Amino acid sequence: MEGLATRIAPMMSMGVQDFQGWMAAAQEEAEAALAAALPAATTLPHRLHSAMRYAALGGGKRMRPLLVFAAGEISAAPRAALRTAAVAVELVHAYSLTHDDLPAMDDDKLRRGRPTCHIEYDEATALLVGDALQTLAFECLANIPGLPPERALKLVSLLARASGSLGMAGGQAIDLAAVGRKTLDQPELELMHAMKTGALIRAATRMGACCGDALAAEEEASLDCFAKRIGLLFQVVDDMLDCTASTATLGKTAGKDAAAGKPTYVSLMGLAATREYAETLRASALAALKPFGARAARLAALADFIQQRQF
């Protein structure tokens, strides 16, 4: 982790230990807020609520909540609102994983080191779990504490736009259609990822900032530029991990994309060039944060974390 310390120290005047402590606390806070937002497993219908908790709790890097919290530091956003925004984004992420793992989609049996929801429960339940997690995300935003209604409505709009057919769900549709098409070129691959993974990461960042003081137009543009780049960086790193890490480390099936004939950055440009591309993305993401100075320290550290993650 020394490399990380050296690289982020000049920008953020915050040590790696500080960052790791912040991250652990924020992850714990997100987990507790998710647990509180989800109906108890003792609430009827029991099986559905138990399965919703299984799918949403107890694992994951909570990358999107971390981005919400970190982006909120740019606009001095109130904590309670950030917490709810973080919960909403993570619920949408959890719903998408639950549905993506279904037999009709990626047919995956392992997620976060545990059986996927339809394996642990059943397909019909997993389908309803995804549906109800998505609904709960919007219900949370509709009742977000401490924000004027027009801001809350803006959060609903950002999250919906990012996760619908012009965002995450659309990207998943393109991904499914691309299986076996090794001829996908880099612009096509980037459009797919911008929708499938990038849109929600971008939304998480914008939603965090949207919970606080209004940003100037050029600040918003800079933040969005950062968000787009780390969204892409996240996917580029994912592609590298899929072919270099083990199933045990990832907590999900490794080498799956290559086996399914899915086009990836690694299959397109090779491992070395992909690693270089990741470094370029990280640098340009950090450059976009310059206008914010120290307020962007956590976001900068997160960009490094995204590049260096091993799972």
Binders of a copy of itself among 37-56, rule CB under 8 A?
Answer: 39, 43-45, 47-49, 52
39 or 59: whose CB is closer to a copy of itself? 39
Give how far Cα 101 sits from Cα of 83, 112, 116, Å. Answer: 27, 12, 7
Least separation in angstroms between residue 197's CB and a copy of itself is 15
Q: Taking CB under 8 A as the rule, does residue 84 contact a copy of itself?
A: no
Q: Taking CB under 8 A as the rule, does residue 181 contact a copy of itself?
A: no
Given a contact cutoff of 8 angstroms between Cβ atoms, the answer to whether 64 and 207 are in contact is no
Q: Taking CB under 8 A as the rule, does residue 280 contact a copy of itself?
A: no
- Given the rule CB under 8 A, which of 27-35, 152-160, 229-237, 248-256 is the region that contacts a copy of itself? 152-160
Least separation in angstroms between residue 147's CB and a copy of itself is 10
Least separation in angstroms between residue 94's CB and a copy of itself is 13
- Given the rule CB under 8 A, which of 25-33, 91-99, 213-221, 258-266 is the region that contacts a copy of itself? 91-99
Q: Taking CB under 8 A as the rule, does residue 130 contact a copy of itself?
A: yes
CA distance 232 to 308: 14
Pick from 306, 310, 201, 170: nearest CA to 246: 310
Given a contact cutoff of 8 angstroms between Cβ atoms, the answer to whether 209 and 222 are in contact is no
Q: Taking CB under 8 A as the rule, does residue 169 contact a copy of itself?
A: yes
Q: Taking CB under 8 A as the rule, does residue 214 contact a copy of itself?
A: no
Q: Which of 2, 10, 42, 148 binds a copy of itself (CB under 8 A)?
A: 148
- Given the rule CB under 8 A, which of 74-82, 165-173, 250-258, 262-270 is the region that contacts a copy of itself? 165-173
- Given the rule CB under 8 A, which of 62-70, 162-170, 241-249, 258-266 is the region that contacts a copy of itself? 162-170
Q: Taking CB under 8 A as the rule, does residue 17 contact a copy of itself?
A: no
Q: Taking CB under 8 A as the rule, does residue 95 contact a copy of itself?
A: yes
Which residue type sits at 101? D
Pick from 91, 22, 32, 64: nearest CA to 208: 64
Q: Which of 6, 13, 17, 165 binds a copy of itself (CB under 8 A)?
A: 165
The residues that touch a copy of itself, with contacts defined as CB under 8 A, are: 39, 43-45, 47-49, 52, 95-96, 99, 102, 104-105, 122-125, 127-128, 130-132, 134-136, 138-139, 141-143, 148-150, 152-154, 156-157, 159-161, 163-166, 169-170, 172-174, 176-177
